[in-house]
Structure 1
Amino acid sequence: MSDYEEKESKLMRKVKQNPFFPVGMAGFFAIVGYGLLKLKSRGDTKMSVHLIHMRVAAQGFAVGAMTIGVLFSMYRDYFAKPKETQEAQSK
C-alpha cells in the first residue's frame, strides 16, 4: 500500500501511538504565542535573550510531554499487557 492510499493520516497515526504528542504541540504553540504577546512589554530585556527564553520554555514543554508519553507507552507495554496476558492464560 502506498502512502497515498493510506486511510489514516500520518498525524492521526502518531496521535494513536503517542497520546501526549498533541499535548506537547499545543503547549509548544501556547508558549510561543504567549511569548509573542509579551514581546512588546519585555522591558529592558534584549530581544535575543527574550527569544532564547521563549525557545527554551517551548522546547522544555515539548520534550517533557514526549518524555511523559514514552513513560506512558512503556507502562502500557510492560506493565498493563502482562496482566492482560495472565488473565487470558488463566481462562
Structure 2
Amino acid sequence: MSDVQVSRNDDRNRYEAYLEGALAGFAEFRRGDGTIEFPHTVTEPEFGGRGVASALARTSLDEAREQGLRVIPSCSFYAGWIEKHPDYAELVQR
C-alpha cells in the first residue's frame, strides 16, 4: 500500500489514487455544511487487491478528521472499511 499515492482533486470532487504512474482508483465526495459524504469508490480492475481503496479511505478520512468534518459513508466500501477500523467510527454522522 505504501506505493499508492493519493491526492484530492477538488475540480472533480474526488480523491484519486495512483499506482505505477497510472490512475488506479478514486473515491467521489460531496461536501456539505460541516460534512463530507463518500457515495462511490472505484478501483480499476488491474489494480485490485493492492490496497488502493484502503489508501483512498485512510487518506480521505484522515483529512476529514483534520478538518473537523462529519463523515457520511454512503458507499458500501467506506461503511465497511470504517466498521473494520473502529478508530474512525467517531467521524460518522449519526
Task: Say yes or no: TM over 0.5.
Answer: no
Larger Cα-atom Rg: 1
More helix per residue: 1
TM-score by length of 1: 0.29
More strand per residue: 2
> Which has the bigger relative contact order, CA under 8 A and spacing at least 6?
1
